[in-house]
Structure 1
């Protein structure tokens, strides 16, 4: 199938999942994951109406952004090293993967030099897997409170990656746990902190994530395919 057809099918599945959960389809946005995908594939998706693209690697994002339309909305969704923040300062509209105060401080410093603010999500390792990044459920409150003191960083919500399951329904408890954590943080009424965004769900389980409250789903292979668009 073409990218246009894939995009249409994904949006249909997203809308149906939202409606089944009693939600408005417009409350969930698609982040097209572009890791290892060439600029031509991204341009094709953009031409079909896709606006938000999520990149995992700083070097790839910088290179692709330079040759693609400025109207594209870039989100950074991968593990981010503090010494690479400068390269994407002002280039991305949201960073999904902030999991430590040192990274948040560097984001604050780099965006502050531009006289701008960066929207971020705090990544939580709900599953406690040692192979995944993210702060713990117990430490997230303290981290959010610290980040909230930074003038050029705005906390907009949380992000997580559950374990991989053959059955997407098995991931739902992890998505539910993130939603409940966001509600607890919201109830704390930390000044300057919002919990409007939940970034969770990928190609294999985004419908389960939507059922549990996802507002941003990160989809790559279901959109671009596994083999058609790969780097040499």
Structure 2
């Protein structure tokens, strides 16, 4: 990518960011909140270090990766970028935990008690606390990982006393291309959070849901952390309205 191409791509990223923030603000206001209450994660898993740096130059500060090896590569590329943060959003195998903890702000994809225990034990051994979200399969799709809502309702107590992790909230993914189902999914996550919060006393302040095609719906239903990839990085992606 030559300097002219870099400039054009940077300008596009900046334009996309402004448009996304406007759409987040509109959706947040529809649910009685401010857009500033909703965090924006740029999912950089499909782009290289150069595109990530250009995104930082365009104003993005929070990024997300789904593989430990790629996370390490991006961290190395971004080590001189001020204010940058990374989250882990992909399925995490227990034997890869040490490649992630201590390097990210938040692990979104704690999908089992076994994984929660592994993160807790290895974090405790390193004398750190890892902030995590519990992944919930609200839609019930067989292709998706995560706790079933009823499973989490019955089993969250087993994770409450784990030292080395801080359970900060919940994460989910909605069915693709089905706006009504997505809305039900996001509403269900918020309802589940409210019930768990009342029962356990945990704040569970973070609701991570909403991707490129459905983030406005997610924000309307209570999401305060959206994970956007294509709508940021793909020049050919046509943002969906509404």
Normalising by the residue count of structure 2, what TM-score does the alignment of the two structures yield? 0.88
Equivalent positions of 1:1-232 (< 5 A) are 2-69=12-79, 71-165=83-177, 168-190=179-201, 193-225=202-234
The Cα offsets for residues 66-113 of structure 1, whole Å up to 9 and x where unpaired, read as: 121364211100111000011112001100110111111111122222
Structure with higher RCO (Cα < 8 A, 6+ apart):
1
**CA RMSD for the aligned pairs?**
1.6
Instruction: Tell me if structure 1 keeps the 8 A contact 2:49–2:77.
Output: yes
Inter-partner Cα distance in structure 1 for 2:12 and 2:143: 34
Inter-partner Cα distance in structure 2 for 1:93 and 1:222: 23
The Cα offsets for residues 160-208 of structure 1, whole Å up to 9 and x where unpaired, read as: 011112x534410110000000000001034xx3210100000000000
Instruction: Tell me if structure 2 keeps the 8 A contact 1:95–1:120.
Output: yes
* More deviation, 37-46/73-82: 37-46
Inter-partner Cα distance in structure 2 for 1:91 and 1:15: 30
Mark the runs of 5 or more structure 2 residues left unpaired by the alignment: 1-10, 238-242
Question: Secondary structure, in 3 states, of the residue corresponding to 1:134?
Answer: coil
Mark the runs of 5 or more structure 1 residues left unpaired by the alignment: none
- Tell me the matched-pair count: 225
